[in-house]
Amino acid sequence: MNSPQFIAAELGEFFSPLTAFMLVLVFSFLLCLVVGIGNDDSASEFFVANRKISTFRNTLALCGDWIPTSALLATVSGVAIGGFDGMVIAASVTMTAPILLLMAERLRAAGEFTLGDILARRFPSDGTRLAAGTITLVICILMTVIQLTVAGNATAYVLGLEGGSASQFCTILIGLLIIMFAAIGGMRGTSMIQAVKTVLVLAALLVLAVVVLNRAKWDLSAVTESAGRHSGDSLSYFSPGRLYGDSTAGLLDTVSLGVTAAFGSAVLPHVVMRLNVFRDGRAVRQGVTTATVVLAVFAALATLAGLGAAATVASGSLTLEGQRNVAALFQLAEAVGGDGTGRSLLGLVSCAVFLTSLSTASGLTLAIGSLAHDLYSSSKWRGKGETLREISLARWFIVGSGALGLLLAVELGSWSIVALTSFGFAVAASTVLPALAYSLFWKDFTRAGLYATLYGSFAFCLVLELFSPSVSGSPGALLSNQDFHWFPMQHIALVSVPVGFLLGWACSRLTWPSRAEEGTAEALGAAREWG
């Protein structure tokens, strides 16, 4: 009779990271072919699946949009390395859905496909769509680069490939799959893979949590004590300031990262696009409310996984340069099992990470492809295009943006993933959030205020980031051998978000809305009250 250890070893040999990678590739390719059929029927089918996806499945897909690869891996590693600071960041993830819930129904009522549709309903013009499209392109390209970089590094790590060229090869391979999936699958395919990804991620984290607690005889306090002891200093591990120091600037940096995670991820362009897939306002309210619970479960499981990694993995290997943002989850899977069980857990985690990379980047590239709708909705193109031409242009947008994202991912592969992610989320929180909030709730918001919010806030974010320690003046900076920074914090959202709201308010107060803008605001307000 075969022993449990022998069975685990055999299972581990079969369900290896390489097997997991191949399973995800085959599954994604077949799913892409199946759901891609019929995506040429209409623009509504390609961009929002004709709003026929069930509320439950679309809610799972929405949760998937809020759990990108960078959030999954960096949250676990943040808790494992940063202790209390990492837990604060994990907790901030749960605030994402409640923030969006305040606007969800109005966004669904005002939107069609894109961010440009929502803003152009308040300020109809080509300039509005151009501004919204520019911000959408910047955020989605940046976030795509992050997902591809993390996916390439993680894939190379779990497959045991060493060297920068191996990571670049994995990045290119995954990037090509993502481009194909988004271009063929459309919203229906992206929603399907996002929903499957959410279930798989939660299942993988739950299995790890059960194993960690079982090893500690189901004593959570034993896990936390062991995590603090292995970190080298229990007091500092469970005190603020471990990630960025306990100085005022360091503590503000931690708070700023929490603000970035909560506000930025709430209004990413592909998330706003996802709300338009819900059938009506009631469905979107129900979906975002349910997503709040799912994100809370994710944050709790990710925190427990991070504590488990701190308790079982040597702290020195957790903080190895180049792996600190991707390795903790994988190292935990290897550490909590024997040879066979550890490989099985690593295979399960690898499946979840591979699928997360594919689904998140597919959603981002689809959001870029939706800019073709904005182009066809402008006065220059209106009435000249047909559905097939619009979808064809969207697919070329996807291919072009995917190629650009691949190029940038290869070039920026050595830069800090946390810094790139933080900047992308900060841009979304500083531009999209105030623009949507003012457009939906403030009748005195003007077109000048909108442009100041989008263009002005983006320029301000760019300046702060350029002169922050993320670019120069620190060992992990993009230009580590130079120092021209004057902004003290690595994460800019704590400053840039209030400035974004201030720019929109100030420029709206200094300008007068046109009669058309006043009429549009009154009409939208009356429609909302009636609804």
Could you tell me if 134 and 450 are in contact, meaning their C-beta atoms sit under 8 angstroms apart? no
Looking at the domain assignment, is residue 471 inside a domain? Answer: no
Looking at the domain assignment, is residue 113 inside a domain? Answer: yes
According to the per-residue pLDDT averaged within each range, which of 27-31, 128-132, 457-461 is highest? 457-461
Nearest to 369 by CA among 339, 345, 342, 405: 405
Strand partners, 479: 472
Could you tell me if 346 and 330 are in contact, meaning their C-beta atoms sit under 8 angstroms apart? yes
Gap between the Cα atoms of 275 and 53, Å rounded:
12
Looking at the domain assignment, is residue 512 inside a domain? Answer: no
Looking at the domain assignment, is residue 108 inside a domain? Answer: yes
pTM of structure: 0.85
pLDDT average, residue stretch 390-417: 76
Which residues constitute the domain of residue 349? 46-417
Looking at the domain assignment, is residue 510 inside a domain? Answer: no
Is pLDDT of 286 > 80? yes
Provide the pLDDT for residue 359.
82
pLDDT class for 515, splitting at 50, 70, 90?
low
Is pLDDT of 243 > 50? yes
Q: Phi first, then psi: what are they for 278, rounded to 5°?
A: -65, 150
pLDDT digits over 28-60, tens only? 667 666 665 555 567 777 777 788 888 898 999
pLDDT average, residue stretch 212-237: 84
Which domain CATH number covers 263? 1.10.4160.10
Higher pLDDT, 42 or 398: 398
pLDDT class for 459, splitting at 50, 70, 90?
very high
Is pLDDT of 375 > 90? no
Is pLDDT of 11 > 50? no
Gap between the Cα atoms of 454 and 216, Å rounded:
50
pLDDT digits over 162-216, tens only? 666 767 777 777 777 777 777 777 788 888 888 888 998 999 999 999 988 888 8
Nearest to 193 by CA among 34, 412, 316, 52: 34
Q: Which residues of 83-107 are buried (b: 16+ CB within 10 A; e: fewer)?
A: bbbbbbbbbbbbbbbebbbebbbbb
Looking at the domain assignment, is residue 181 inside a domain? Answer: yes
Is pLDDT of 431 > 90? yes
Looking at the domain assignment, is residue 442 inside a domain? Answer: no
Could you tell me if 249 and 243 are in contact, meaning their C-beta atoms sit under 8 angstroms apart? no
HEC-encoded secondary structure of 489-515: CCCCHHHHHHHHHHHHHHHHHHCCCCH
Provide the pLDDT for residue 3.
44
Indicate the number of domains in the chain: 1
Provide the pLDDT for residue 471.
83
Residue 58, both tokens: 């679309």
Nearest to 357 by CA among 142, 151, 167, 60: 151
Alpha-helical (H) ranges within 313-385 are 315-318, 327-335, 339-369, 371-377
pLDDT average, residue stretch 282-296: 92
Q: How confident is the prediction for the chain on average, in pLDDT?
A: 80
